[in-house]
Amino acid sequence: MTEPGTDWRHDIYGVLKRAGISLIAYVPDAGHAETIQAANDDPDMIAVPCTTEEEGIGITSGAHLGGTRAALLMQSSGVGNCINTLAMVSMCRFPFLTLVTMRGEWAEFNPWQNPMGQATEAALSLMGVQCFRADRPADVVPQTEAAADMVFNGDQACAVILGQRLIGRKSWTK
């Protein structure tokens, strides 16, 4: 839920652009919809839709090898799909930035989202990915900037966790 005068969804794209990112891989997700749309609308950005999250890790790793800065947008439910591929990031010491929208926490209505939602940060940390969490609109820009600095200036693997309370309550419509 956005505080008055704060458009964190729009601000994320600006941080990614200022960090020199020119390729965004993503698995379609409502929580990332504005960032995905901005990437698709920007003629200077390569936006790559992925069928799986681990495919996005391969794309961002390949982009690095080709001299391009990249980021992966995914939902927490996809983190579990990435464990083996995150080993490649760790072993090859690829800089890796991902922004993860959360499910399975605050006001979750779908019990199938809960197990991975509750394990997301621990799973990323166990695979050597440092997590930066944003639960308030004011947290988004500084956490994303800090993660991007560590990734692209320090060759680290970092995730910005966008909490479910920040994103807002989800509901099924009939």
Q: DSSP strand E in the chain: where?
A: 21-26, 46-49, 69-75, 96-101, 130-134, 157-162
Q: Over the stretch 92-144, which tens digit does the pLDDT of each residue have?
A: 999 999 999 999 998 888 889 999 999 999 999 999 999 999 999 999 999 99
DSSP state at residue 160: E
Give Rg (Cα) of the chain.
Answer: 15
Answer whether residue 159 shows pLDDT above 50. yes
**Predicted pLDDT at 86:** 97
Angstrom distances, CA of residue 152 to CA of 60, 88, 156:
12, 17, 7
Query: 101 and 31 in contact (C-beta within 8 Å)?
Result: yes
Q: What's the CATH superfamily of 8-167? A: Thiamin diphosphate (ThDP)-binding fold, Pyr/PP domains (3.40.50.970)
Answer whether residue 1 shows pLDDT above 50. no
Q: What is the pTM assigned to this prediction?
A: 0.93
Q: Over the stretch 49-108, which tens digit does the pLDDT of each residue have?
A: 999 999 999 999 999 999 999 999 999 999 999 999 999 999 999 999 999 999 999 888
Answer whether residue 45 shows pLDDT above 90. yes
- Give the least confident one: 2-16, 38-52, 76-90: 2-16
**Predicted pLDDT at 172:** 65
What mean pLDDT comes out for the span 41-47? 98
